[in-house]
Every structure is written in C-alpha cells, then in structure tokens.
Amino acid sequence: MASPVYSESPDGGWGWMVVLAAFFQTALVFGVIRSFGVFFVEFVQYFDKLSGSVSWITSIGIAVQQFGSPLAGALCTCFGARPVVMIGGLVSGLGMFLASFATSLMHLYLSIGLLSGLGWAMVFTPSIASVARYFKKRRSLATGLAFTGVGLSSFAFSPLFQYLVDIFAWRGALVILSGMTFNLLVCGALIRPLTLKEDLLASEKVAVEQSKDRNCLGQCFSLFDLSLLSHRPFMRFVLAITLINTGYFVPYVHLVAHARGKNFDEYRAAFLMSVAAAADLCGRIFSGWMADLGRFQILHILVFWTSLTGLSLALVPLGQSYTTLLAISTGYGFCAGAMTPLVFSLLPEIVGIGHIFGALGLLQMLESIGGLLGAPLSGWLRDLTGSYTTSFCVAGGFFLLGSLVLCTLPNCFSCCSAKPLDQLAVVPEELKVDPASDLLNHEVTVH
C-alpha cells in the first residue's frame, strides 16, 4: 500500500488521535507509577519485608524504563512506532498479570520491575516521539496535552487502586490493572506510520554509513544513533536536563515530610501535593499554548520556567505558615508542569525530527542519572543538617544550574531558533536533495 511522504509535519489531522493515544499512554505508564504506593503498603504487610526492600520494585521499573529507552528508539527506527508500542503494551500488561501470582519479592522484581519496566520503555519513548513527528507549529501544545494524562491519572488511580485492593485484595487488583494496561495495545494501534522528508534523508545517510562500515559495532552505532554523543548542543542539552532531573523529584519524595516536620497534620501535608499536581496540569497546557504563539523562542521559555521552578523550590523553607507553603507548592507545581512539555518540544529543534527516536532514547537514559541521585542526596542532606532546608535549596540550585547550561545552546541570546542536526552536519553530495524537487515542496507518494 502506498505511503504518503510529507515535506513537513502535518500539524493536525490524525495527529490529534496520536495525542489522544499518548494521553492514555502517559496515564497508564506514569500514572500507574505515581499511584503504586497503594500496592507498596500491601506488599510490605503481606511479605513482611522492610520498606527499603519493597521500594526496589518501582525503582527497578523506573530504571529499566529509562535505560531501555535507547532500545525502544532503535526498534522504532527499524520497525516503526506502532508495533513497538503494541508489543510494549503487551509486555507491560503481562508483567502486571504475572505479578498477581507472586510468592516473593524477587518475583515482583522480575515481573513488575524488569518486565513491565521494559514494556513502559517501549511505550513512552515512541508515543512522545510520534507526537513530536506529527506536529511542528503546535508541537508544544500537543505535547502538553499528551502529558496531562499523568496529572489526571494521578488523581484518579490512587483511590481507584485502593478501592480495588479493598474489594479484590492486591492479587485481584493487579489482575484488573493488567487488563487496564493491555489497553496500551489499542493506543499503539492508533499511531499511524508517518514518513517525513527528513526520514528519507536520514535513512539514506545511515545506509551509506553502513555500506562503509559493515562490522557489528558500526551497525549498532548507526542503529542507536550514537553519533548524537558527539553532537555538542545535544550533549549540553542532556547535561542541563540531567541537572534539572536531579532536583525534579525532591518535592515528590520530601515535601510531605517537610510539611509534617512543620507540625501540619498528614491530611494537610498530603493536600500540598494534590494542589501541586493540579497546578502541574494547568502549567502543562498553558506553556504549550504560550510556546505555540510563536512570539518567543522555545528555548527562552524553557529557561524562564526552569529558573522559576528552581526559585520556587529554594523558597519552600520560607513557608512557615500553611498558607505560604500552599502558595509556594502551587507555584512549584505550575512552573514544573510548564517546563516538562517544552523539554520534548525543544529536542527536535536541536537534533532534527529525523533523529527524534534515537535522541529521545539517549536523553531518557542519561537523564536517569539525575533522577536516581536526587532523592538520596536530598535525604542525606536532611540527615546531615536535621532539616529539609538545605535539601530544597540544593534542589533549586540544580534547576538554576541547569538553566545556565541551557543558555549555552546555539542562538540562545538571539531571536533565531537553533539549527537542527541535519543542518549543522555536513550532508554528503549523494544525499543532498534538489530544493526544487517535489519531495521538498509537495506531498508525494512512495510505493
């Protein structure tokens, strides 16, 4: 069957169905991860293990999801996003189903941590990359709408999972959760294949490189798009996001504990995170709309929201009254939410849409270093100083440092957008396309 080739992203049409699919995919991946604390309590009681041992279930899952992202990107390059997402949905649902038969924590490590984690990697990276490929002018808004699934599901899943556990116990609840997760196959089926002009250029370039270097190492280098590791703007962007990621998860882990330390009861302390989550949801939509107005460069907007997020974190220790702490939490949630979709919207401008699968996979893997170190560092500072004041100040400092690194990206101090990798790299003569050809100016059909 003929497949249309677009000179640029269609910026709508079926793309909105891809956004809807990504909405449910982010909900069924990160919404489940954020709400898994309900099962955490049940596992601690049933297996009679320490909290630290049980915590490894979700920690392994998150680590596998992030470190497996380059593999997901490579599979998408070979087979397309649709089959990869559908297989990922099958694997993650199977992991949840097998976990319902668990007789030990090792069983849960392997089923939820390893199997579901791998499935989450094969779902998240292709779905967000597909949204970026379908949109250009409205990419930030589309990405923001896709990520609202995380906020809404965080509200809905925790009470839902608790209800399922109360009615069916944790084994029955995991069976139902696996059924919900299998809906990722339907979401994957909604991702129609999309061929862009840059895809043809990138695939021809890879073919030329592979013809020159036929050894296994060279094949892997091309498949995983490891040439991006020598692309300086991309690596500086990765460094910035890794620094930001180091401070990003600190409030999710320690804000409630900080509020309890200020003698606020557990319900008022927990309400801080609920308000932050609601503000996060609004921030994602607002920043997407703001970026797509075209009045400001996406990089400038990202630096703005990142800096405000860092400042709001540094102000947390000043919240001596509940009203002040609630206002600061709301500000943090809004700014952090506004920042998130812009990270994924800016990436194609740095590397080019033809490299989005490989770039997103490498970004996810490398930024995980910050996510893994941030919360333990914050806890160590709390143990060292006796309060969370230093922890939040240091977390805010990581955001501000990340903002400074973002300012080193090309054209940050001009009104022009950074050139993508395809324009920065030297294109071989045999891969250059005639500017007057139909491939650049019209939609054509490839058989």
pLDDT digits (tens, 9 = 90+) for 262-290: 888 777 877 887 788 888 888 888 888 88
Amino acid residing at 401: L
pLDDT band for 18, please (50, 70, 90 cuts). Answer: very high
Residue 125 has pLDDT above 60, yes or no: yes
Query: Over 127-166, what HEC string results?
Result: HHHHHHHHCCCCHHHHHHHHHHHHHHHHHHHHHHHHHHHH
Amino acid residing at 72: A
pLDDT mean over 286-297: 83
Higher per-residue confidence, 212 vs 53 = 53
Alpha-carbon gap, residue 4 to 444, rounded angstroms:
6
CB 305 within 8 A of CB 339: yes
For the chain, the residue count is 447
Q: List the one residue out of 133, 118, 10 whose CA is nearest residue 80.
A: 133
DSSP 3-state assignment of 15? Answer: helix
Q: Which region among 20-29, 148-157, 404-413 has the lowest average model confidence (pLDDT)?
A: 148-157
pLDDT band for 207, please (50, 70, 90 cuts). Answer: low
Is residue 35 exposed (0-12), middle (13-18) or buried (19+ Cβ within 10 Å)? buried
Q: In the chain, helix, strand, coil percent, each to 5? A: 80, 0, 20
Amino acid residing at 323: T
Pick the most confident of 1-15, 109-123, 225-239, 349-363: 109-123
pLDDT band for 203, please (50, 70, 90 cuts). Answer: low
pLDDT digits (tens, 9 = 90+) for 384-400: 888 888 888 999 999 99
pLDDT at 222: 67
Phi-psi region at 331: left, alpha or beta (left = phi > 0; alpha = psi -120 to 50) = alpha
pLDDT at 213: 54
pLDDT at 422: 45
pLDDT band for 225, please (50, 70, 90 cuts). Answer: confident
CB 133 within 8 A of CB 356: yes
pLDDT band for 432, please (50, 70, 90 cuts). Answer: very low
Is residue 187 exposed (0-12), middle (13-18) or buried (19+ Cβ within 10 Å)? buried
First to last CA, the chain: 7
Amino acid residing at 45: Q
Domains and CATH numbers, the chain: 8-200 (1.20.1250.20), 222-423 (1.20.1250.20)
pLDDT at 436: 36
pLDDT at 424: 44
pLDDT at 358: 83
Is residue 376 exposed (0-12), middle (13-18) or buried (19+ Cβ within 10 Å)? exposed
pLDDT at 144: 87
Tracing tokens 């890879």 back to the chain, one arrives at 206
Higher per-residue confidence, 354 vs 203 = 354
Q: List the one residue out of 182, 191, 1 whose CA is nearest residue 82.
A: 191
Higher per-residue confidence, 167 vs 371 = 167
Q: Which region among 153-162, 205-214, 298-307 has the lowest average model confidence (pLDDT)?
A: 205-214
pLDDT at 93: 95
pLDDT at 437: 37
What is the pairing mode between strands 195-196 and 444-446? Answer: unpaired
pLDDT mean over 44-71: 81
CB 439 within 8 A of CB 433: yes
Is residue 387 exposed (0-12), middle (13-18) or buried (19+ Cβ within 10 Å)? middle
pLDDT at 290: 86
Kindly state the percentage of the chain with pLDDT values over 70: 84
pLDDT at 438: 35
Q: List the one residue out of 445, 18, 440, 438 whose CA is nearest residue 193.
A: 18
pLDDT mean over 238-246: 92
pLDDT mean over 122-134: 89
pLDDT digits (tens, 9 = 90+) for 352-383: 877 888 888 888 888 888 877 787 788 788 88
Q: Which region among 34-38, 141-145, 171-175 has the lowest average model confidence (pLDDT)?
A: 34-38
Sign of CA dihedral 312, 314, 315, 317: positive
pLDDT mean over 331-352: 88
What CA dihedral angle connects 395, 396, 402 and 404, to 10 degrees? -150
0.85 exceeded by the pTM?
A: no
pLDDT mean over 40-62: 79
Residue 426 has pLDDT above 70, yes or no: no
Q: Which region among 21-35, 63-77, 233-247, 409-423 has the lowest average model confidence (pLDDT)?
A: 409-423
Alpha-carbon gap, residue 114 to 191, rounded angstroms:
25
pLDDT at 446: 35
- Joined together, the tokens standing for residue 65 give 């999801």
Q: Which region among 180-184, 347-351, 424-428 has the lowest average model confidence (pLDDT)?
A: 424-428
**Average pLDDT of the chain?**
81
